Structure 1
């Protein structure tokens, strides 16, 4: 089984799987660790009706080749910036990130504020120490054994992500397996997990530095969560409200780690309302 068709670019000599479509204010959609741009397929299609939308497989994820340097949040942000330059998206964009993609959106904004018009942080990493036990295990020495591609493991992972089991489809399981079977996938996952945390949880140092820097930018920010998230617990939304008192927040009931999928229509409407508010327009 292969990944669904998408555009393929060569950026800095590295293969990048991405989708670029639509015309209008620029939007960048960033997925989470071990995932692919397919997690934003519904949002890409909907938003591209009147926005220029870029979805990208992060380095070493899905159909994108790995980096030549260790995979870390700053390294991913630099690589995403290169992709945006390659597709001509050099000005401020609405940065939308789920899970690790949320932390990546924040890192991208901090590293180059001229790229960020607003932030939409979806069940985002960075707001607390707690993370699912499965990810904490990957910080241990034997972790590579846990990353062997297997349909049962892929199904269990998908089941943890979604509150409604109807979203655990054979197509999503096949996509997860195709991504996990890439020869570099386990190495990239371990590098990222170990750069961000330990078996005890997410490291506080990078979180504190990043949140302080993002807070100083004063960007229009929307933070959303699903109340049944088993990956990053709902208490992180309360932390986000404390760290970003200026931010808009929204809680989706009976929803897991990916509101952009489980609540696709509501999510798109919420984001569009947020972008229509004064100060949130791209380039404002």
Structure 2
């Protein structure tokens, strides 16, 4: 019995020591204020729900586009797409959806889909613009929600490999018990999401074109992780990823059937995160044409096949502009 106890204690120490080490490393790494870490290429926009960091490109009078990123990304991931769209005469605005990037984080840690949708709407009000909303992955969920709350606020909607959770409200589920204590969520996030040793590995899991996970791209994704409290803020956000919303308009198929806004879908045909079958189902609900598939591309088309993606996006935006 004594030997068994010694073995159990040794195993516990073997698990706890590196875990605590990663948590301590996160605290030592997250030492900068958002103002210190923020790239000078963008600016803060004051909205009714806090300050949002945006980066802009293209002529002031061009047709406005608002770009929403996916999980753990920020506006910096859109740089190549922004330059290409600006070259076509569009006014491009990419923003950071908190808690990611350099926008002001929510004091109450509320990053639910409805709240994020209202953030998008308050941003369009502050910008005094009616943009076409272009949203990727998990960012497509609050984007679709914002459109359903107020379609008149937008000229169109483009969803790229959108993670929407259709019908997820029919099978509500609580946050897993081990993740309910905030300190345990923070520990998990320090081991994964804000652990710089895993950024490249986690990114590669989303890609079919693995070579797209370059050192430069990994450095871009890691840039905001030095901001004070990043691990804690990501941990506050985690329930919105793991627990489907029960009050969201954008999980209900009938609301997509009722969309009057020009809406297009762009998808990677090798996406294993939000498989192409989901795009086909969504397109059938919307009834504005089939999803536009990129061949041999995974979950992040804008970095896996930027040229092909941009050409398809130009075509889609011309379509939307012609319909307005």
TM-score by length of 1: 0.83
Structure 2: how far apart are the matches of 1:282 and 1:76? 29
Structure 2: how far apart are the matches of 1:10 and 1:39? 19
Contact 2:196 2:222 in 1 (8 A): yes
Alpha carbons of structure 1 residues 87 and 204: separation in structure 2 relative to 1, 3 Å: closer
**Residue 155 (structure 1) shift:** 1.4
Q: What is residue 84 of structure 1 aligned with on the other side?
A: 124
Structure 2: how far apart are the matches of 1:103 and 1:231? 14
Q: What is residue 133 of structure 1 aligned with on the other side?
A: none
- Which of 2, 5, 9 is matched with 2:44 structurally? 9
- Which of 126, 131, 134 is matched with 2:164 structurally? 126
Alpha carbons of structure 1 residues 139 and 226: separation in structure 2 relative to 1, 3 Å: farther
Map 1:63-78; keep pairs closer than 5 Å. Answer: 63-69=102-108, 70-78=110-118
Alpha carbons of structure 1 residues 11 and 273: separation in structure 2 relative to 1, 3 Å: same
Mean CA deviation greater in 61-70 or 79-88: 79-88
Q: CA RMSD in A?
A: 2.9
**Residue 216 (structure 1) shift:** 1.1
Matched, 1:255 2:297: yes
Give unpaired runs (5+ residues) of structure 1. Answer: 131-135
Structure 1: how far apart are the matches of 2:250 and 2:218? 35
Contact 2:112 2:245 in 1 (8 A): no
Q: What is residue 34 of structure 1 aligned with on the other side?
A: 72
Contact 1:31 1:97 in 2 (8 A): yes
Q: What is residue 264 of structure 1 aligned with on the other side?
A: 306
Give runs of ≥4 in structure 1 deviating > 6 Å: 136-139
**Residue 58 (structure 1) shift:** 1.0
Larger Rg: 2
Mean CA deviation greater in 240-249 or 206-215: 206-215
Q: What is residue 54 of structure 2 aligned with on the other side?
A: 18
Greater share of residues in strand: 1
- Which of 221, 225, 228 is matched with 1:183 structurally? 228
Give unpaired runs (5+ residues) of structure 2. Answer: 1-28, 30-36, 169-174
Contact 2:47 2:126 in 1 (8 A): no
Give the number of equivalent residue pairs: 272
- Which of 139, 143, 146 is matched with 1:101 structurally? 139
Contact 1:228 1:254 in 2 (8 A): yes
Structure 2: how far apart are the matches of 1:268 and 1:137? 39
Is the partner of 2:135 in helix, strand or coil? strand
- Which of 134, 148, 151 is matched with 1:110 structurally? 148
Q: What is residue 261 of structure 2 aligned with on the other side?
A: 219
Is the partner of 2:66 in helix, strand or coil? strand
Contact 2:269 2:296 in 1 (8 A): yes
**Residue 51 (structure 1) shift:** 0.9
